A and B are shown apart, each in its own frame.
Chain A
Amino acid sequence: MHYLVGDLGHLFVITSFITALISSFAYLKASTILDLQKQEEWRWNGMISFYLHAVSVFGVCVTLFIIISKHYFEYHYAYNYSDLKLPSYYLISTFWNGQEGSFLLWMFWHAILGIILILTNKFWEAPVMTVFCLVQAFLASMILGVVLPGLEFKIGSSPFILLRDAMHDAPIFQAQPEFIPKDGQGLNPLLQNYWMVIHPPTLFLGFALTVVPFSYCMAGLWLKKYSDWIRPALPWTLVGCGILGLGILMGGYWAYETLNFGGYWNWDPVENAVYVPWLILVASLHTMITYKNSETALKASIILVISVFISILYSTFLTRSGILGESSVHSFTDLGLSGQLLLYLLFFMIGAIVLSIVRWGNIPSIEKEASVYSREFWIFIGATTLCLMGFQVLAGTSIPVVNSILSAFGFEKKLAPPTDAIAFYSKFQIWFAIAVGILSAVGQFFWWKKIDRKILLNQLFVPAIIALLVSVVVVNIVKVFNLPYALLLLAGFFTIFANAKILFGLLKASPTLSGGAIAHIGVGMMLIGIMFSAGYSRVVSLNNTGLQISKEFSKEFNRDNLLLFIHEPRTMWGFDIEYLGERLEPRYHTGFIRKSDIHQTADKNLVIAKRDMKIGSKAYQANDTIRVQGENTFYEIELRRGNKKYQLFPRAQINPEMGGLLASPDIYRSVTADLYTHVSSVMDPSEGEEWSKLEELRVKQSQEFFANDYVGVLESVDRIYNVFGIELTDQDVAVKAKIRLQGEKGDYIAEPVFLIRDKMVGRIPDDVSDLGIRVTLMNIHPETNEFSIGLNTRQKDWVVIKAMEKPYINVLWIGTLVLMVGFGMAMSRRIREFKKMKAKGLE
């Protein structure tokens, strides 16, 4: 038992909580005391406590990582989320697989951001860090894992809890308190994906970044510096928009590659919980920029910045309190933190609202109405649209909360989320998206504070006409005969062309300012890409044989799926498509192994090579042991057109514990469309195979023969001294025949064994599943130098696949990259601005 590391970790957790509180208090003093000397002293205290806090947070991370990477399975966290087989890069994702670890990840980013804040902005340090540390203290309390004596009230859930304490009812710990499991439960195979290594840190960095503008806003209201906070807060908002957006898209991309629901977005509450804050964050970015340029929209900025942070807290509450339990497929399990999370949400919500109301009358605002031909008017409409867009998603996602509130007031719990989430959200979101497209074209033209109707129409005329023409052409060529889809296409093109015009103008004058135009071009491309890939996704694996795959299947299944027998080519989507057999994946390097080239062992993660082969970059010799990812089977499918060949490897996890088939797609990417393919039914290895009657033939060494229409040759027969790990005695005799079978796609080796043990004959046949042949060494005839070989055949291997075409999905991914480039350019511009201000001593 390694108690020390866990105790140390727990100590760090407690220290981090206390230092966050102390730091907040010291900074509070520093913000309110008037005496300059004392002010400096308190600031110093606050800073030191925050550094101590940051050290404790890093300490927690390091100790937790030691527990995971050293495989201390006496700890609940290591036991539940990792095992000995995990490669080291997935040990990192183990870190945030549990809820405690994801809180920790969030705290980690806060600690780093706090240090940056302290180092960069002396003027705002004290008031901003007061709020910031308070947020951090609440977060630290979530992993505190301390039971208040006398009250039986548990604060937080510690990641350092021992397995025996987490499962104190388990009989093994009653009998043996010192028991340590040999291996852990392992990481969910679906999460063993490189996107799951980088997606959560990105997302949580985005979450963490939203707290900075919020702290600035609170500090500004508190110190009655109603407008000064916007300038230092703006770059943070901008970075937050970029990072959170990137995190969301990575999540979507992971879902597209790994899950088999057929898309990148499923309107699941967990996805909505990050989408809504992001929309509001983008809206707040726009109003803050407006304020910086024209001193308007200050009140709107304050409301939005507060709303962003509240929506982040609300999302955290939604996904972690267990309240979604009956409406989300993959919400977190309930750790009993719902009360604490609600307190966290209400504390900052009520605090921020009360502070705003108290100060509201004093916030300067411009009485004059914004003109219809002003930048701020259009940006304001745009921000409002984004907020309504978020509101619609929030309304649908919050149904379980409404239910809980209603039942708290004695109403019977009745409402459930809409059954068809995609239809429910899409029917509104598409119209909002059209508005966003049009607004981001028009709004961008108000670079100058005011332009009149004539100039505006003049400027917009060309891009509008081009957009209209291009849209008409595309609508007719691609047949987008659906009004909202066609309008979305038009809005997307309008944004692209309008912003392209601005971009060309800027490239000559001041290229550093072009971030906004580039970002909006990215948005336009994303709208178009989403419209096509989601709106015109269609099934291409249509069963056109006229034969049912099985009468057990539903009508839709028989229509939309394709049965492929091994080595029997069919046509699909203009390709010849051929199933080539089952493959395994080596655990520690890339490549695929033909299942027919290996012997299985009792451990599904260990196989033995039948022949010399090169897998990826690694060469194996016959009888080498290969470590594989035993739970995964890949189905190699070849696409051919002309003399071009492409391989697809859709995956299935067959797991009796999971009771079925867990399919992951593989995607063939072409310029204009993706072919998204996953298996929808596979052969069950546990079901007995039906073999034909045994056919026996006598052959000599090197003699060719026919087996199930394939040419076979008996290459050698050798005496062996152990059979699959069993040592034989002197009295026993065992021989192994090596038979080479020539398949359509290369040779296969079958190695049946004939043995005499304790004077009894035993035969161990060998199957070549790709060819559907079982080979048995029946007998040896030394008198004629011949061998009897038994052959059984069976129905060939098969797989049922479903394939979908996702047209123009690349437009979406390219648009994403363009958007990120735009964000990056805008960020570097703001950072340069900040440095200039700092050099002048203004920050």
Chain B
Amino acid sequence: MIVKGKKNFLQQFYVIEIARGLGITIKNLFFAPKVTIEYPEERRKYSERFRGMHYIKATNGVENCTACMLCPTVCPAECIHIEAAERPDKEKYPVRFDIDVLRCCFCGMCEEACPKDAIKLSTIYEMSCTSRPIYDKEFLLEQRGSK
């Protein structure tokens, strides 16, 4: 569809209009704030709800997880594998807590399901690596970034 705008006599010559257009671009060149984020030095600010890499929250050096198996149950990608055991004080704890992060779809259901606030998703999003890692408990316990 061709839309024909109304033009007055001077605008039909386009010369003045082109000059005005040039004025707009040069104004943008000098004065407009630039939107580029210079990546390694600056980072994009993500919201607090961002779902990035997992971590296991610990209290006094002991993980909050009680190996209740709610997160592997709810996980749609089936990427959490937990082996439970008992502590001497009869408390349940995970011997192994592996997350196959390549299968993870970062839906955050594990975080929602967890009654102990143990598994959480941080705001870390730089997860590219050269191998295909399965993150274990020691790796996940390290607090690299939290909300």
Task: Answer whether A and B are interacting partners.
Answer: no
Residues of B within 8 A of A (CB): none
